[in-house]
Amino acid sequence: DMLDPERLIQCPLVKHHWIRARRFPYHLVKCKESNPEIAKKLATCPFNARHLVPQADLSKHIMNCNDKAFVEQDVVSRSSESSQEQLNNGSTWQAPPSVEDWET
């Protein structure tokens, strides 16, 4: 189960590090600090900061990242909510042209 906080995840920096999912973000921060030379060679996925991949493989990872679908789905749902919200709020209303002439 991907949502299990007790599952073990392999560290992308030091392959013999296995960390519980709930501790993984904290481990990444510490492990990057402890291994700056390895960290320089890795790139962070724009869809999930827990995904560290070799810089040369980042484009391929981005195309195949499972979390990309979640981000795209969120963007689509937010944009449809936003347009529906505008309709509900009456924000499409425009003032009628004014018949007043302030110059006269």
Longest pairwise C-alpha distance within the chain: 84
The model's confidence at residue 95, banded by pLDDT at 50, 70 and 90, is confident
> Global pTM?
0.64
Quick one: 18 exposed, middle or buried, by C-beta within 10 A (0-12, 13-18, 19+)? Answer: exposed
The dihedrals phi and psi of 68, each to the nearest 5 degrees, come to -60, -40
* Alpha carbons within 13 A on the beta-carbon side of 98: 3
90: left (phi over 0), alpha (psi -120 to 50) or beta: left
Q: Write out pLDDT tens, residues 28-55.
A: 999 999 999 999 999 999 999 999 999 9
Query: Which of 14-23, 33-42, 67-76 bottoms out in mean pLDDT, i.e. has the lowest?
Result: 67-76
- Please tell me the predicted confidence (pLDDT) of residue 32: 96
- Per-domain boundaries in the chain: 1-40, 42-75
